[in-house]
Amino acid sequence: MNKRNFLKSVAALGGSALLPSSINPLIMYKTASAAVDYSSATVVAPAIMPQVINIHLYGGPSELAGNLTNIVDINANSQNSYASAFGAGILRNDTTGNGQDNNGNSAFITKNGFWRGAGGEDMQFMVDNGYMSVYRTLMKRLDGTRSHRESLLQSFKGSLDIEGSAGVGTKIAATLYQHRGQYEGNTTLADGTAINDIVNDLLLPFVSFEGDTRAYQQDPNFQIPILYRGITLDQDFDNPYTRNNNPNDIELEALATTMRTNTYNSRYSGAANSFDLRAFLENKIDAIDDADSDANLPIITGVADAASVGISAGQQLVYPNNQYTSRVRAAVTLTLVNPATLYVTVGGGLGGWDDHNNGIDSYRNRMSALMAVMNAAMLHIKYYNANTLNGTPRTTNNNIVINMSGDFGRRVNLNNNQGWDHGNNQNLYTFGGSQVRAGGAAALGKVVGTTQRVGTSGTNNQVTEPVQGSYEAEPMSVASTVFSYFGVQNPEILTADDELNPNGVPVIIETTPGEADLF
């Protein structure tokens, strides 16, 4: 039996008898006053299906690692001195590119305003090489709440209706299913595989590396196929389809083999197919796990690329050994080896970013570790050239987008506990995907948005906000932009609801020019 027939057998049985317990619909919340009308979306299928990894930094990190452009003013007005806490270099421009100014003094501010020593070296490298863009003015204006729950759910759902709205992943799935006639026969996966049956031709299309997440909260008004509901994997690719943790596995397999006569297979075809499906999916998961081994990481041929991860050109990629590596690497490996994986969520286990106190060392160390992993991930994507699960090479790796943001931003006053309290402006770090972005490669390699410090000097109520005339976007615009990658021409309808936000939110305008270098 081929893959399509395997997967059709799942749908025919409703899925619950075949799929592991990790595939469970999330708890339903109250229905919104007006449900999303997916049929109202106008869809033009992309030539190649995008693959999106969404990384959420729980707690909401400070923007400062990615934005020191206002630091002199911030330091002059803060309750506590940044120069005393982090060293005087935080106020100086790294004009030499090696951590010093022209006078030989330590200097932490890179030419694009990143914080050297808090991931800024890797950020600058990724911007310089067109691997990343940073939007510094992801500003909450429609709803100014600084509550963790409301803010993160708005991001996970792309909606102000945090109770009734479906998650972003579910909205993508519903759109694909509602408009399947637009996609089938008109788009391919990134290894050239044609999509002729958008439900049954996709293996593991929606995946979470953080357990149950509201990004896959179901829509009570629109039922998607069971195969479109998010499956949970972990960074070790522990196989949800295997029985290897069952001490009676050998006996169960022997019993199944004995029972499965031709008569049995004919009479109980659904059960027979479930045995085949388990073996099929187990083999696929095992193949993904194998692709994630160090031995299968790509060779880095670029001299500058190799140096950025501490190796020589011609050597195999080495990821940094830190707390962020395993989940990010697993998500990247999955998308590379399986072009049918369309949306992946990563977040839990990537550290807490709610730095109200004791942020001096921990924040810098976390940002440095995270950005080092992201740089390695971008090289992994750039240089990957092995076959996919379909046994064919990828035709492009430039359909993979990684978005990274948090609950909200933080204030810029360094408080009396050596931390930062909640604010409304944050950075969006967005990586790769030049083939699916508006503007193509020009959408990458830039910093967009200009900020200013506002608030009363010497108090804790100091934040950054976009200067007048600067480009800015709502955090929910990230969701609208992702919908547009999948060919939705009017994605604001997927972020709208009649009661709270009838107009929805527009996409991020990725053709917006970047800001000039600081020096």
Q: At what angle do helices 269-291 and 325-337 cross, to 10 degrees?
A: 120
Question: Kind and range of the H or E element at 280?
Answer: helix 269-291
The three-point CA angle 512-339-207 to 5° equals: 85
Q: Residue 510: inside a domain, yes or no?
A: no
**Average pLDDT, 10 consecutive residues per value, the chain (519 residues):** 44 36 40 75 98 98 99 99 98 98 99 99 99 99 94 96 96 98 98 96 95 94 92 82 56 55 54 56 86 96 99 99 96 98 90 91 96 99 97 98 98 98 98 98 99 98 98 99 99 95 98 98
Answer whether 63's CB lies under 8 Å from 426's CB.
yes
Q: Residue 509: inside a domain, yes or no?
A: no
Answer whether 171's CB lies under 8 Å from 483's CB.
yes
Three-state DSSP state, 210: coil
Q: Residue 364: inside a domain, yes or no?
A: no
Question: What per-residue confidence (pLDDT) applies to 284?
Answer: 86
Question: What per-residue confidence (pLDDT) applies to 35?
Answer: 80
φ/ψ of residue 344, rounded to 5: -130, 135
Question: What per-residue confidence (pLDDT) applies to 446?
Answer: 99
Q: Residue 316: inside a domain, yes or no?
A: yes
Q: Residue 211: inside a domain, yes or no?
A: yes
Q: Residue 180: inside a domain, yes or no?
A: no
Q: Residue 195: inside a domain, yes or no?
A: yes
The tokens for 315 are 């050597």
Considering only CA atoms, give the Rg of the chain.
Answer: 24
Query: What is the number of other CB atoms lying within 10 angstroms of the CB of residue 300?
Result: 25
Dihedral of CA atoms 21, 23, 27, 32 in degrees, nearest 10, equals -170
Query: Which residues span the domain enclosing 395?
Result: 3-28+50-68+109-165+187-348+381-411+422-482
DSSP letter for 489, please: S
Strands (E), 396-500: 400-406, 409-410, 422-423, 425-431, 447-448, 451-455, 462-466
Q: Which residues pair with 57 in a beta bridge?
A: 406
Q: Residue 133: inside a domain, yes or no?
A: yes
d(CA 28, CA 88): 52
DSSP letter for 55, please: E
Question: What per-residue confidence (pLDDT) applies to 266?
Answer: 56
Question: What per-residue confidence (pLDDT) applies to 276?
Answer: 58
Number of domains in the chain: 1
DSSP 312-334: -TTEEP----STTHHHHHHHHHH
DSSP letter for 217, please: -
Length of the chain in residues, anyone?
Answer: 519
d(CA 145, CA 185): 44
Residues 243-271: b if buried by 16+ CB within 10 A, e if exposed: eeeeeeeeeeeeebeeeeeeeeeeeeeeb
Closest CA to 245 of 208, 274, 290, 282: 282
Answer whether 63's CB lies under 8 Å from 410's CB.
yes
d(CA 422, CA 146): 6
d(CA 515, CA 497): 34
